[in-house]
Amino acid sequence: MLRAGAVGVTAPGFVHRTVSRRGALYGTRCGARKEARCAIPGTRTAPPALTGDMSPATPESKTCRSCGRRIEWRKKWASNWDDIAYCSDSCRKHKVTAHDRELEQRIRDLLAQRAASSSICPSDVARSLHPDDEDAWRDLMEPVRRAARRMVAAGEVDITQGGSVVDPSTAKGPIRIRRHRS
């Protein structure tokens, strides 16, 4: 039995085994080839879940049908992961309406009117629908951002900040929408 701070015997290309103070066994690489990740015969090896790249596979994340944000797999959804389509009760109630599809089409239309390398702001879309009413277009900002996230998931557009493509699920602050570039 290895004790806290104890180290297993290693050689180049093998995994260096160590026990933490809490008794967890972990390993670090000691060199050479990736395939040679087993300890020298006779030494204790870590269970596959603790070696990093050999952890049990979790299903791919999904995109919420309503808001376009990423849905990460959770253990409580293991039995019905294929049925999960929305990230929250709010999104499940809201769903995607005809108005949401209209916003997506408006984004496509505004991008078609601009040069292929240019982008638009979500406020351009909202203002094009309500040019004179300040409060009305401001209320449309989040629905336009949701429509843009859904379009990113479909591969139609990219969301950028400072000219760089960002993850729409985690982007905070001002964004721009541009056509997807291969």
Mean pLDDT of the chain, nearest integer? 74
Q: Which tens digit of pLDDT belongs to each residue from 80-133? A: 888 877 777 777 787 788 988 999 999 999 999 999 889 999 999 999 988 888
pLDDT for 52 equals 54
- Report the alpha-carbon distance of residue 7 to residue 15 in Å, rounded: 11
Angle between helices 122-129 and 98-113 (to 10 degrees): 110
Proportion of the chain above pLDDT 70, given as a percent: 69
pLDDT for 3 equals 52
Write out the CATH class of domain 96-179: mainly alpha
- Report the alpha-carbon distance of residue 103 to residue 86 in Å, rounded: 20
Residue 15: is its pLDDT beyond 60? Answer: no
Name the residue ranges covered by the structural domains of the chain. 1-57, 62-93, 96-179
- Report the alpha-carbon distance of residue 96 to residue 179 in Å, rounded: 22
Average pLDDT over residues 38-50: 43
Q: In which element (H, E) is residue 112 found?
A: helix 98-113
DSSP for 125-182, written as a single string: HHHHH-SS-HHHHHHTHHHHHHHHHHHHHTTSEEEEETTEE--TTT--S--EEEE---
Match 């203002």 to its residue by tokens: 127
Residue 133 has a CB neighbour count (10 Å cut-off) of 11
Q: Which tens digit of pLDDT belongs to each residue from 57-82? A: 677 778 787 777 777 777 877 788 88
